[in-house]
Structure 1
Amino acid sequence: MSSTLVLAQLLNGLQYGVLLFLLAAGLTLVFGIMSFVNLAHGSLYMMGAYAAAVAYAHTESFGLSVLAAMLVALLLGLVLEVVAVSRLYQRDHLNHVLATFGLVLFFNELVRVIWGPQPVFVQVPEALSGTVNLLGFTYPAYRFLIIAVGLAVAVGCWLLINKTRMGMLIRAGSFNPKMVAALGVNIQLLNALLFAVGAMLAGLAGAMAGPILSVQSGMGEPVLITTLVVIVIGGIGSINGAFYAALIVGIVDTLGRVFLPMWLRQVAERSFADAAGPALASMLVYLLMAVVLAWRPQGLFPAKRG
């Protein structure tokens, strides 16, 4: 096992983790503040990926495609919040799940009608198709860009939550929304803005993931499940928790899928290792979540009160 392989997989895990953070940041705040279970968050990620693919095909500008994805997801988030989500805040979680699951089915069928059932493949921008040399180690430039964007968004979210008036209201609303509303804050507008910002981050994640994944109907559901695991591990309502937990899950998942089959080959037949390794690797993050729930049900990095 070479150090180059280990470093490459650590960077892959970091890249996967920051993508998960882009999804988890908005979702954990929506769940933490509004206590709203939004299964359609993965569909916003998917719509962002499609919007970026269409914009890139017409403009051949990666920057414009990312802006298009964020704008489309932001507008979709606002529309969904006004038309459907705002009517469900006072309902129980079962209603949230049923309504947003219906939205998942709607968006999946919508993209099949518009773009067909076949995946859409997005080319990595030519300027980012090379590699970056780091101390004698080369790594794809585009994956480095994903890491940089994710870290920049993490810093921006921290500044928003901890250094702005809106962030103060978000923190207060996550613990006592009725009191915040009683103090004269337009809690409906705050909720709509928060939901839209979360949707925009999901669209950004979809745009960044498009060139390394196939853009297709249903692409949001698998990543949504992993995002929910991130939120549980990090702590519901905690941006810091979402960031740290996303990095942990990304690295654990990536290293497990690469090294578990290799380690099993040392003690078992190759056919068994090749079959059992990926299956065990796919269970790692869920085992991690189970351990965290048993040890710290509030998550590893819960939001601080006060």
Structure 2
Amino acid sequence: MIRRFAERHPWWSAILGLAVLILLYLIFAIWPEWLVEAIGRKKIFLNALFNGITLGGLYFLVASGFTLIFGLMRNVNLAHGSLYLMGGYIGFFVADWTGLWLLAFPVAFLLVAMFGVILQLVVFRRMEGEDLRQTLVTIGISIVLADLMLWFFGGDFFNITPPGWLSGPMETGIITSQRVRSSGEVVTSTLTYPMVRIVIFLASVVIGIAMWLLLNRTRVGMLIRAGVDDRDMLSATGARIQLVFVGVFAFGAGLAGLAGVVGGTFQSIAPGEDIRFLLASLVVVIVGGMGSIPGAALGALIIGLAEQFGSVYFPTYAVVLTFLIMVLVLAFRPQGLLGRA
């Protein structure tokens, strides 16, 4: 895949290769004084970089479910952010009542997936191909769900506490600064980073690879893609396309619930997070390309890094930076970076 891209886009490959080399230098090299004066302390830069990457992993979990429902199935589900918030609340109370952090993930996934099945059967099956009706109805559903969750859970912030073995920092071994004492001894400082963020990011990578393999290397994935392209023809072959689509919708909704548990562990769960993550999912899908799992991963990484670097180096314009990226992609590549033309 990489070789094919390099053959088709040699200039872009050279630019990306140079960018990777520069990034590796910024991560592993000991910064000279002029670089510290230009960018700031290396520790701040590395924290913004790793926070952006791990935030991108969270955005990917939310946006991958959104791109399955919106990009592949052509269902405009603007209640997707509410599914994220619902999963976060479910995960918090499961972890709080049982003391089992890992149990919160499957419970939130299953319960939100079941709610997704109800949405598919009651709402979307009755409005297939009617984008405007789907948009208006799901906006109404998201408002009702937000008010119900506010009434039931209140306006407090909830944070899901990970187990002790994930709570501490992890020593990365990356040198952030180096100084020489008067005695001639060289003292170095290394970067530590929360273990839970690294573990959850690696889990999001595994989920992304599994989703790509499912869609591109299995019979179920073939049915999904064929049903999106020509539903009537696939139905004529005897395939139970509606059952497949219900399963896909449930899986996408479950991913949003799973991401809610991750978000509650990363940051916190509170009213308003549903709108934030719905907008983030829209931006990620637009930047990466609708219906593309690798596109969702790339878009999530770009948006996560833009948010974190923007909040550190351009705090006044952090939000503007995110939407500027979306505008540039729409202007020069409307189908998204990895979307099909």
Does TM, scored on the shorter chain, surpass 0.5? yes
Q: 1:112 Cα deviation (Å)?
A: 2.1
Question: How far apart in 2 are the matches of 1:120 and 1:95?
Answer: 34
User: Normalized against structure 2, the TM-score is what?
Assistant: 0.80
From 152, 158, 171, the equivalent of 1:133 is: 171
From 42, 45, 64, the equivalent of 1:6 is: 45
Question: How far apart in 2 are the matches of 1:30 and 1:150?
Answer: 18
Assess if the C-alpha contact under 8 Å between 1:26 and 1:197 holds in 2: yes
The SS at the match of 2:145 is helix
Aligned position for 1:74: 113
From 292, 295, 306, the equivalent of 2:332 is: 295
What one-letter code is carried by the residue in structure 2 that aligns with 1:222?
R
Return 5+ residue gaps in structure 1 as ranges: 261-276
The SS at the match of 1:132 is strand
Aligned position for 2:144: 106
Question: How far apart in 1 are the matches of 2:232 and 2:272?
Answer: 37
Seq. identity, %:
39
What one-letter code is carried by the residue in structure 2 that aligns with 1:231?
V
Matched, 1:219 2:273: yes
Question: How far apart in 1 are the matches of 2:286 and 2:51?
Answer: 22
| 1:194-231 C-alpha deviation (Å, 9 max, x unpaired) | 11000111011100111233322332111110110110
Aligned position for 1:184: 238
Within 5 Å, give how 1:178-257 maps onto structure 2: 178-257=232-311
Aligned position for 1:28: 67
Question: How far apart in 1 are the matches of 2:232 and 2:289?
Answer: 22
Aligned position for 1:123: 161
Assess if the C-alpha contact under 8 Å between 2:223 and 2:241 holds in 1: no
The SS at the match of 1:184 is coil
Question: How far apart in 1 are the matches of 2:46 and 2:231?
Answer: 44
Question: How far apart in 1 are the matches of 2:51 and 2:232?
Answer: 43
Aligned position for 1:271: none
Q: 1:40 Cα deviation (Å)?
A: 0.6
Q: Give the number of equivalent residue pairs.
A: 286
Runs of 4+ in structure 1 off by over 6 angstroms are none
What one-letter code is carried by the residue in structure 1 that aligns with 2:199?
L
Q: 1:303 Cα deviation (Å)?
A: 4.2
| 1:221-280 C-alpha deviation (Å, 9 max, x unpaired) | 1111011011011111111111111111111121111112xxxxxxxxxxxxxxxx33x1
Within 5 Å, give how 1:262-301 maps onto structure 2: 277-278=315-316, 280-301=317-338
Assess if the C-alpha contact under 8 Å between 2:101 and 2:161 holds in 1: no
The SS at the match of 1:168 is helix
Q: 1:118 Cα deviation (Å)?
A: 2.4
Question: How far apart in 1 are the matches of 2:237 and 2:69?
Answer: 21
User: Normalized against structure 1, the TM-score is what?
Assistant: 0.89
From 58, 83, 105, the equivalent of 2:122 is: 83
Question: How far apart in 1 are the matches of 2:215 and 2:312?
Answer: 36
What one-letter code is carried by the residue in structure 2 that aligns with 1:141?
M
What one-letter code is carried by the residue in structure 2 that aligns with 1:121?
N
Return 5+ residue gaps in structure 2 as ranges: 1-39, 174-189
Question: How far apart in 2 are the matches of 1:101 and 1:241?
Answer: 25
What's the RMSD between the two structures over aligned residues? 1.5
